Amino acid sequence: MSQAINVARRESPAKADPIRFSVIMNRLNSIALEMSVALGNTAFSELLSLTNDFSCCIYDADGRQLAVMDALPIHTNSMHLFLETVADYFEDDLHPGDIVLCNDPYSGNTHNGDLSTAAPVFADGEHVFWVAVKAHQLDVGAPVPHSSFGGAEDIWQEGLTIPPVKIYERGAARRDVIDFYLANVRYRERLHGDLKAQVGATLIGVRKLEEICRRYGNDVIRSFADEVIEYAAMRTAAAMRSIPDGVYRGDAWFDEGENGATDLRLGCEVRIEGEAIHVDFVDCPDQLRRGVNASYAVLQAAGGIPVVMMIEPDIPHNEGCLRRVTVTAREGSMCNASFPASTSLGTVLPGDVMQEAVGRALVDAAPELTQAGNARWANIPMFSGVRSGSGEVWGHQILNSGGGGGAAQGCDGWPLITTSAAWGSLRTASVEHTELVYPLSIKEWEIEPESMGLGAQIGGPGVRFSLEPLHGAVDVVYDSDGQRNPPFGVGGATPGAGGGTYVEDRHTGRRRFLGAEVHDRVLPSERWGSVSTGGGGHGNPLDRPVEQVRRDVRDGLYGAARAREVYGVVLGEGPDPEVREQASEETRGAIARRNRADGVPHTLPARPGASTWLRDNLRPGDDVERRPARDT
């Protein structure tokens, strides 16, 4: 690694004035937020303008993270690796006005679908900051219209791969590089608009940081960077010391591998020693001939995110937090792929299940600080087609059908968490916008009852979603995980229910349930439908107030039978049922005695393939599709 990035701590020249420290810290945060708002308001595609699938970050000249706001953890917990590559690649050939572009997963990037830009910030001829932006693209020129192609058997089948290249040089746009990029992707006009929005956000960050340097001076800024990182490190270290030392084991299962394999186990060990935590994915399958392998950047992010999620939210998420966690996995494995393996879906597949394995391990260490399982990436199709009349190609990724988030101590889970890669940072396009812009008609978008795990706190619910094409058939690319292996519950709470995705014949009602990897077509006579899982529950169900259980049933989150089975709450009839107190007391007593006899498991389910959703929802005549085996 070149001297341009050195993560070792330098001696701070002086302790920062506390007021000035606070002012500069909040100013950097506001700049990161301003970059995000600008990108979202000027991007052309819904993937950026409405669903917020991007991150804007500020780093010091040594590549140490200083400020992030409203960003995706899978991006921000690893973007420093991309900056290290840029610094190595260009060494001393970086100048004011330069912007570097890259999407190469083997150059410190997360996956091919994430396009990253980085710009050095100079003041008085001295390199003081980096600005970095990462934005998920609608398309990367893969064989199918999508930027995350699960069927890619190697990196060349993913689409266009861009190692670090200057897209702006000394303030001038490089038209040759821009035209080369746009010639290799679908939706040229929209992606050109997205690229300009990303460059604009990068330039806003550069300009605002130059103003900061002029106001305070480079020495003050360097001192501040040391202080804010040490502040975060100090508070994170204190949080780590509160967790018992030890080695903790967590296992999770990936739904489908290759050649018919199911329930691939990903096992990790979390070693806690004082102020340091080390995550090691000790049991991980060999890398697959599918686009569901993790790049090194995804490994670092997915292994560390669940740990960072345990600390107080007001601790600045900067280098001081990140350096407390180290992550390893065997090179050439699904968790740390070697070139030329495809990592096309790596941020979510297997990134989500990797996070789940770490989360399960941390439950044993500190259940009160650990969230139950989130829904993984599933039920999220990419639709595309050609407009009748104009012949214009279009593409739209539907995030409205994502699953729910896990509950935590004292807090029910959120709906539409969609993926642990984002932890709630992703949003959805409105029904009205989708129907106005695209030839699609949304028929259902509603909470799915009994989809969430039940405990003292309940998981966020899943949703039922369906749509129909309006003008001819539409292509669909779809990949998923976590349907067979639902989000885990913590401390005696139940897991999420699991879910499924299907295409239904509107005339006969016959459905074909889809496998984990699909490139298909939905006809005008068909309906796309899906039911996503809710998140896992948290804590002993008997600790949920009886009145809250009654309200949950009244509100339709789950039925009276589940209330009796899980909570021991017996309810009367009607839309606003009353609690039958004597029957409830007896039933709850029986559950408590059973729990004392059997013990309360730390996490459920404890075995792979636990979801019965598909079996329970199959109707006579339905088909279940499987991903075809490939030649080895």
Mean pLDDT per 10-residue segment, the chain (632 residues) = 34 65 96 98 97 97 95 96 96 96 98 98 97 98 95 97 98 98 97 98 98 96 96 95 96 94 97 96 97 98 96 92 94 98 98 98 95 97 91 94 97 96 94 96 98 98 98 95 97 97 96 94 97 98 98 98 98 96 96 86 91 96 75 44
Q: Respond yes or no on whether the N-terminal peptide bond of residue 469 is cis (omega within 30° of 0).
A: no
User: How many C-beta neighbours within 10 Å does residue 50 have?
Assistant: 18
Which residue, among 496, 398, 498, has the nearest Cα to 453 in the 3D structure?
496
In a domain, 299, yes or no: no
How far is the CA of 582 from the CAs of 369, 591, 593, in angstroms? 35, 14, 17
Query: Which of 204, 236, 268 lies at the terminal end of a domain, its last residue?
Result: 236
Where a domain ends, among 184, 214, 236? 236
Please state, in angstroms and as integers, the Cα–Cα distance from residue 455 to each residue in 29, 311, 566, following that order: 37, 23, 8
Q: CA–CA separation, 280 vs 271, rounded Å? A: 8
Residues 232 and 378 grouped into a single domain: no
The whole domain housing 110 covers 18-236
- Residue 332 domain-assigned (yes or no): no
Predicted TM-score (pTM) of the model is 0.95
272 domain-assigned: no
pLDDT of 15: 62
Give the count of alpha carbons within 13 A of 397, CB side only. 28
- Count up the domains in the chain and report the number: 2
**Count of helix runs (H) and strand runs (E) in the chain:** 15, 23
- 229 found inside a domain: yes
Domain boundary among 236, 263, 298: 236
321 in a structural domain: no
Please name which of 229, 301, 278, 279 lies closest in space to residue 63, comparing C-alpha atoms.
229
* Element holding 626 (H helix, E strand): none
Q: How far apart are CA 117 and CA 110, in angstroms?
A: 13
Using the structure block, give the residue that is written with the tokens 């000394």: 170
Distance from C-alpha of 197 to C-alpha of 211, rounded to nearest angstrom: 21
Q: H or E stretch including 54?
A: strand 54-60
